[in-house]
């Protein structure tokens, strides 16, 4: 295994033994996606745990009028997944789409389960990731109710500046629950 393998940043020797890392990393398969390819499509069941090494993806749903509304963004080091579909083995309502060419590392559900039940550090890291994802989702839903659009944009800018620099304004606007024109106005206010 390469010394500088991308997944060694994810499964660091601080939390995992070399033996555990040696058991985990070979289970992942590198998959390349082209811009606009789908990692997950609505109506299918999430069968993979994806680590994003390079590129950007977004998850989105279609609203009642057929507009696609971005629900999340994923960049380097993120896990692109629909957690509920993955764990509950149920069809997803979301799509996960590559916004750029992407390099991903794929782990299938069965292998994930084997690692989860046989390596305590893997299980603990998985729990922390899932809990962190839940809190992020909870904060986002509260923000939609309690914060102005400008505050939501400033938070995104602070927490994920790489997303703001690399993703289209249209996708950012739907993520924030506003129009592209409102987002342009907010950006002008902030820059002046």
User: Any idea what the CATH number is for the domain that residue 109 is in?
Assistant: 2.60.120.10
64 lies in the same domain as 155: no
Q: Is residue 2 part of a domain?
A: no
Q: Looking at the 3D structure of the chain, how many domains does it have?
A: 2
Q: Is residue 80 part of a domain?
A: yes
33 lies in the same domain as 98: yes
Q: What angle do CA 50, 52, 57 make, to 5 degrees?
A: 95
What are 32's two structure tokens? 């390349």
127 lies in the same domain as 152: no
* Chain segment 12-43, per-residue pLDDT in tens: 878 899 999 999 999 999 999 999 999 999 99
90 lies in the same domain as 160: no
Tell me the pLDDT band of 3, cut-offs 50, 70 and 90: low
97 lies in the same domain as 37: yes
Domain that holds residue 174: 147-192
Q: Is residue 90 part of a domain?
A: yes
Q: Tell me which residue has tokens 């680590």.
A: 51
125 lies in the same domain as 153: no
Q: Is residue 139 part of a domain?
A: no
Among the listed residues 162, 167, 180, 184, the one whose alpha carbon sits nearest the alpha carbon of residue 77? 162
Q: Is residue 76 part of a domain?
A: yes
153 lies in the same domain as 127: no
**Confidence (pTM):** 0.89
Percent of the chain at pLDDT exceeding 90: 81
Q: Is residue 19 part of a domain?
A: yes
95 lies in the same domain as 50: yes
The CA-atom distances, in angstroms, between 104 and each of 36, 100, 161, 162 are: 14, 12, 21, 18
Q: How far apart are alpha carbons 83 and 74 in whole angstroms? A: 14
Task: State yes or no: pLDDT of 2 exceeds 70.
Answer: no
Task: State yes or no: pLDDT of 177 exceeds 80.
Answer: yes
123 lies in the same domain as 187: no
């Amino acid at each position: 295994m390469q010394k500088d393998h991308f997944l060694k940043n994810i499964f660091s020797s601080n939390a995992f033994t070399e033996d555990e890392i040696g058991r985990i990393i070979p289970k992942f398969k590198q998959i390349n996606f082209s811009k606009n390819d789908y990692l997950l499509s609505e109506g299918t069941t999430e069968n993979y745990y994806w680590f994003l090494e390079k590129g950007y993806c977004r998850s989105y749903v279609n609203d009642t009028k057929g507009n696609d509304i971005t629900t999340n963004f994923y960049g380097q080091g993120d896990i692109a997944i629909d957690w509920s579909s993955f764990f509950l083995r149920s069809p997803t309502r979301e799509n996960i789409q590559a916004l750029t060419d992407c390099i991903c590392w794929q782990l299938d559900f069965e292998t994930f389960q084997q690692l989860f039940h046989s390596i305590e550090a893997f299980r603990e890291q998985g729990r922390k990731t899932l809990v962190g994802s839940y809190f992020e989702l909870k904060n986002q839903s509260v923000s939609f109710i309690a914060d102005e659009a400008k505050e939501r944009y400033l938070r995104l800018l602070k927490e994920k500046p790489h997303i703001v620099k690399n993703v289209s304004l249209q996708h950012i606007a739907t993520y924030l629950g506003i129009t592209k024109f409102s987002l342009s106005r907010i950006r002008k206010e902030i820059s002046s």
